[in-house]
């Protein structure tokens, strides 16, 4: 499971979204609305969690970016 979390203005960690992925040979593009964070100092946290046995699990985020 991929998660996009953030900490705004030194507060508690919050979740912006979670996506369960299984390898199928395809890429998935995500678009997340960040307008609620406008004007705040934000730290983004990219997480990957396993949903069971992690043996042979591989995961990566390809070119994450914030676009205005």
pLDDT, position 46:
96
pLDDT digits (tens, 9 = 90+) for 9-67: 999 999 999 998 888 888 888 899 999 999 999 999 999 988 788 787 888 888 999 98
Q: How confident is the model at residue 8 (pLDDT cuts 50, 70, 90)?
A: very high
pLDDT, position 22:
82
pLDDT, position 44:
96
- Whole-model pTM over 0.85: no
Instruction: Please tell me which residue, 5 or 61, carries the higher pLDDT value.
Output: 5
CA distance 45 to 51: 19
CA distance 68 to 63: 16
How far is CA 48 from each of CA 28, 34, 41, 59, 68, rounded to the nearest angstrom?
15, 20, 23, 7, 25
């Amino acid at each position: 499971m991929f998660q996009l979390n953030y900490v705004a203005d030194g507060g508690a960690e919050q979740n912006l979204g979670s996506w369960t992925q299984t390898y199928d040979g395809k890429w998935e593009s995500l678009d997340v609305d960040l307008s609620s964070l406008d004007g705040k100092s934000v730290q983004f946290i990219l997480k990957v969690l396993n949903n069971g046995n992690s043996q042979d699990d591989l995961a990566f985020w390809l070119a994450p970016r914030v676009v205005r």
